[in-house]
Amino acid sequence: MPTRGKSRLLQEVLGQKHVYFLADQREPTLQREAFAIEIARMVPGFDQAVYPSWDVLFSALNTRPTNGLVVAIDEFPYLAQMAPELPSIIQKLVDQRSGLQFALVVCGSSQKMMQGMVLDSSAPLYGRASEIIKVRPLAAGWIRDALHMRGVPASLLLYGAVCRTTGNKPSVSATGRTPFAA
């Protein structure tokens, strides 16, 4: 399945004034360390402590003054696979009387896992999301219109995007036309 650009969209929206963390499949200790380093960009000194668990890390972040901070965790399912307790830890923080002291965005490429963690009535995060956004592919015609390229066929833009993202060189058929020419 082609990429939809959710990571880039999130990074652009957040800019440098918020925390964006791209999870991977490393062991939880390394993930917490990398996450703390990313948080320290906005919360000075946050990476100076060792966090033995996700509970300790999130509790520590929740007690710090964050002044409208947004913390985005991209590829959240990777973290949840490596640390299955994580969704319930977040649930606990959200459900506390004081609630989360920062805005938390969780997203991931695995629609099935994200839906299971947020939309399944038995999941710890069920009913706790204030917004659920499904990023759909952007149609080539919309790109053409946004770039004011009305004279360029949408199929040609799509072909150019495919060549650029896959590294393929344009091919020309026996008729002299590219495979997507209008």
pLDDT, tens digit (0-9, with 9 covering 90-100), for 112-166: 666 666 666 676 665 666 666 666 666 666 666 666 666 655 555 444 444 444 4
Sequence spans of domains, the chain: 6-118, 138-182
Q: Give the pLDDT of residue 165.
A: 47
pLDDT exceeds 70 at position 15: yes
Question: The whole model's pTM is what?
Answer: 0.68
156 phi and psi, to 5 degrees? -70, -40
CATH code of 6-118, in short, is 3.30.370
Q: Which one, of 117, 12, 19, lies nearest residue 61 by Cα?
A: 19
Distance CA 54, CA 56 (A): 5
Q: Give the pLDDT of residue 106.
A: 82
Q: Give the pLDDT of residue 168.
A: 45
What are the tens digits of pLDDT across the range 25-83?
A: 999 999 999 999 999 999 999 999 999 999 999 999 999 877 888 998 888 888 888 88
Q: What angle do CA 73, 123, 103 make, to 5 degrees?
A: 35
Q: Give the pLDDT of residue 22.
A: 93
Distance CA 154, CA 182 (A): 9
pLDDT exceeds 50 at position 169: no
Lookup: tokens for 161: 């995007």
